[in-house]
Amino acid sequence: MSISPKLPFNPMRGVVVPLIASLVLGCIFCGPAFGQTSPWASSASSGAQVKPAEQPKLIASETIFAPSPQDTSLLTWLCNGYQQDYKVELTHLPTTNKKDYQDIYEDRWKSIKERFDKKEINTDPAAQAYLDALVVAIVSGNPVLKSTPFHCYFSRTYVPNAEYIGQGIILFNMGLFDRLSDESQAAYILCHEISHYILHHQENSIIKHVETLNSPEVQARLKEIQHSQFNKSSEVEGLVKGLTFDSRRHSRDHESQADSMAVVLMRSTRFDLNGALTALALLDTVDKDDFNIAASLQQTFNSTAYPFKKKWLKKEDGLFGGHAQVQKSEFSDSLKTHPSCPQRIQLLTPMVQSWNSGQRLRNVVDSGKFNQLRERFKYEVIEYTYISGDYSENLFLSLEMLHDRPNDSYLIAGIGRVMNGMYEAQKGHRLSKVVDLPAPGYAPNYNLLLQFIQNLYLEDLASINYNFLTPWHPQLDHLKVFKTAYDQSAKAVAL
């Protein structure tokens, strides 16, 4: 039950949408309890920094983002607990059409487990403590929620979304949180997902689905197809396709109910109810594709020693890159089931206006921590794409952020690292495992980056990267990730 109205794709291999750049400067990069073992740890903090012989033209940022370490044993422990809950849940399924229910609940469990297996769930205790505090602020105003326990986690994906995924688990994507402007928006988003949970929307959809599947009409139609001599397989396929349960498909009614219930829940808290309206207005803008990737590539990967070649951006007619348009029809079914954001805002406005008051606050828990996490998450989502082996997404998001923060040490080292990763993958004939291929479902800017990657020869990848990193050497050599990337690219160029 997603809150986002416009992103009906697989978050792990989806349309990349640009983040809204919002600068919050501050020394919050060093991460919690991060020691010398981190490849991002700087050895220059003691004042022992060796200055290069000549003052470099480019000065890299002194603050360096260090990703939060992930607690794998906590993830395993949590996942095992949810597996036990799933087994108990199976024993309570309806006895009629039991097999159909079992299949759907099994699929749901598999997709929950995957989120833990892929380390998508955040385990940073400071971020979790903050999210828990937001939830407490909501639950303390609504004691009825105590009788139906649920758990909220930050998901490390960049996709601007939040989701109730079943078994009382709500995921708040870092890629949405980092775009918010105050806690009242976060509270509204949590209340919307909590509403899906307490109103049993997912379970009701499953019941409706199983009942439709086993209805006399559908069964009669299946029999009819079985007895017909022609086009049997395609007809069955068509019928079954329409009857496959998809937890990502949202009903218009459920969304409207969750929107209204969310404001009801917020009413009993101290949060500003306008957060509901501004959060929906924000969601309306998240799929804007206005980052000029062509200009970024030409600027970032141009050097005197290895000038940018226009042909690297040439669109191949044979690939989708030549016709990079989002084919709306592919997703229209999912899009149609959602009321549009302006409509949703219109529906909620009377409630918000009659219940809001001047005493309500845009920030209730801790605005300092809120801003600190937003800033960290901008980087965490980029790091997670790298960890997940989604190199083209990593490069897109890194270039986009580099546009606003051109001397950011984490981004410079990270681009060097991912370009080396692509080099190694291309060398080992497994580039398609780590980069997407141009496809009609992707945003045009992302498709152009994919085309660029496809157009590069091995020696181009090596030389582009080496010349991109060279101006920062030896200035950033104290950063292990940079030094490794630089040495690797130097070696690749020498081959």
Shortest Å, Cβ 112 to Zn ion = 17
Q: How far is CA 319 from CA 316, 322, 405, 431, 437, in A?
A: 6, 6, 33, 16, 9
Residue closer to Zn ion, measured from CB, 1 or 462:
1
Shortest Å, Cβ 158 to Zn ion = 19
| Site membership for Zn ion, residue 1 (CB under 5 A) | yes
| Site membership for Zn ion, residue 194 (CB under 5 A) | no
Residue closer to Zn ion, measured from CB, 344 or 417:
344
Phi-psi region of 119 (alpha: psi -120 to 50; beta: other; left: phi over 0): left
Shortest Å, Cβ 338 to Zn ion = 8
| Site membership for Zn ion, residue 399 (CB under 5 A) | no
| Site membership for Zn ion, residue 283 (CB under 5 A) | no
Shortest Å, Cβ 196 to Zn ion = 6
Q: How far apart are CA 388 and CA 434, in angstroms?
A: 9
Shortest Å, Cβ 194 to Zn ion = 11
Q: Give φ, ψ of 161 to 5 degrees.
A: -155, 165
What tokens does 344 get? 């949703």
With contacts defined by CB under 5 A, name the span among 1-9, 89-97, 347-355, 395-403 that binds Zn ion. 1-9
**232-271 positions binding Zn ion, by CB under 5 A:** 258
Shortest Å, Cβ 139 to Zn ion = 19
| Site membership for Zn ion, residue 276 (CB under 5 A) | no
Q: How many residues bind Zn ion (CB under 5 A)?
A: 3
| Site membership for Zn ion, residue 3 (CB under 5 A) | yes
Shortest Å, Cβ 2 to Zn ion = 6
Residue closer to Zn ion, measured from CB, 4 or 451:
4
Residue closer to Zn ion, measured from CB, 204 or 407:
204
Shortest Å, Cβ 244 to Zn ion = 20
| Site membership for Zn ion, residue 174 (CB under 5 A) | no
Residue closer to Zn ion, measured from CB, 178 or 259:
259
- Chain residues that interact with Zn ion, rule: CB under 5 A: 1, 3, 258
